[in-house]
Structure 1
Amino acid sequence: MKFGEKLRQLRLEKGFTQEEVASAVNVSRRTYIGYEQEGRYPKKRDLYSRLAQVLDTETSYLLTEDEEFVSQASDKYGNRGKLQAEKLVAELSGMFAGGELSDSDKDAVMIALQKAYFDCKEDNKKYTPKKYRKK
């Protein structure tokens, strides 16, 4: 179940309107509708906690692994990173959901992705100006 679907389901179970939830978490109704109906995600991570509190659920329920990855990409790399992360999740989900890969092939794909990620991360360090490098 997607983030927006979870919000809608929990809101309806509690008998809240969109306006009530939006004001309780201090966002506009339009912003909340974007989360529920348009596939948008909160920019600030603390909003997940406030939503969970208002809707009486766990933050982890609202924030699945895919959404966590997208949220982290958005925090670290902005809108472009968020869009790339969403595209990557969609493509990989489609590849794994097709059922054509054996378990060992899926493992090999994941290992190759991890290796590519860490190789790129290491290569990119040399292009980061010294004043921005973490010490």
Structure 2
Amino acid sequence: MNFAEKLRELRNNENLTQQELADSIGVSLRTLKSYELGETLPRYRKIYHKIAEIFQIDVNYLLTEGNDFILTAGEKYGYRGKKGAEELIENARSLFAGGELSEEDKKIVFDALQEAFFEAKLENKKYTPNKYKKDK
């Protein structure tokens, strides 16, 4: 079950309207609709945490490992980092398509890819023009 399906199911189980939930988490109705249609995901962790708090669930239920990786990359490296992480996940999915890897082996490969991504970002940071650096 993906994020959109989980969110829609949680909202319906609590008999909340889309507008009520949107107001509760601090987003527009259009934004909430795009979440439920699977068009977009929340940009910030705080939105996931607000949703988890409202429905009294663990935030990890809402986040897939890929979503967490994309959020982390976006927080650390901005838009370009987020896009790079999204491309890496899409390419990894293609790599696993039709394969015979167990879920455990897929997780090991995915973890290694994430680690390599962040190491490459750190290594390349010294070559990044200042206007693109996102330091915290």
Q: TM-score range by the shorter chain?
A: 0.7 to 0.9
**1:96 match:** 96
Paired position in structure 1 for 2:58: 58
CA contact (8 A) 1:35 1:42 kept: yes
Residue correspondence of structure 1 range 82-121 to structure 2 within 5 A:
82-100=82-100, 113=113, 116-117=116-117, 120-121=120-121
Task: Answer whether contact 1:43 1:75 (CA < 8 A) is retained.
Answer: no
CA shift digits 1:101-124 (9 cap, x unpaired): 589x96996687467546634542
Cα gap change, 1:7/1:99 in structure 2, threshold over 3 Å: closer, same or farther?
A: same
What's the C-alpha RMSD, in Å, of the aligned pairs? Answer: 3.3
Count of aligned residue pairs for this structure pair: 132
One-letter amino acid of the structure 1 residue matched with residue 96 of structure 2: F
Mark the CA change 1:126 to 1:101 in structure 2 (over 3 Å): closer, same or farther: same
Q: How does 1:1-135 map to 2 (within 5 A)?
A: 1-100=1-100, 113=113, 116-117=116-117, 120-121=120-121, 123-127=123-127
Which of the two has higher C-alpha Rg?
A: 1
Stretches of structure 2 that go unaligned for 5 or more consecutive residues are none
Q: Aligned pair in 2 of structure 1 residues 23, 117: CA closer, same or farther (>3 Å)?
A: closer
Query: C-alpha deviations, 1:2-42, integer Å up to 9, x for none?
Result: 21111111111111111110011111111111211143122
Confirm or deny: 8 A CA contact 2:69 2:114 kept in the other structure.
no
**Residue identity opposite 1:69 in structure 2:** F
Q: Distance in 2 between matches of 1:120 and 1:84?
A: 11
Deviates most, 17-26 or 32-41: 32-41
TM-score calculated relative to the size of structure 2: 0.74
Q: SS of 2:26's equivalent?
A: coil
- Partner Cα distance (1:31, 1:66) in 2: 21
Query: 1:81 deviation in Å?
Result: 2.6
Normalising by structure 1, we get a TM-score of 0.74
Q: CA deviation at 1:89?
A: 1.1
Query: C-alpha separation between the residues in 1 aligned to 2:95 and 2:123?
Result: 27
Q: Which sections of structure 1, spanning at least 5 residues, go unmatched?
A: none
Percent of pairs identical after alignment?
Answer: 46
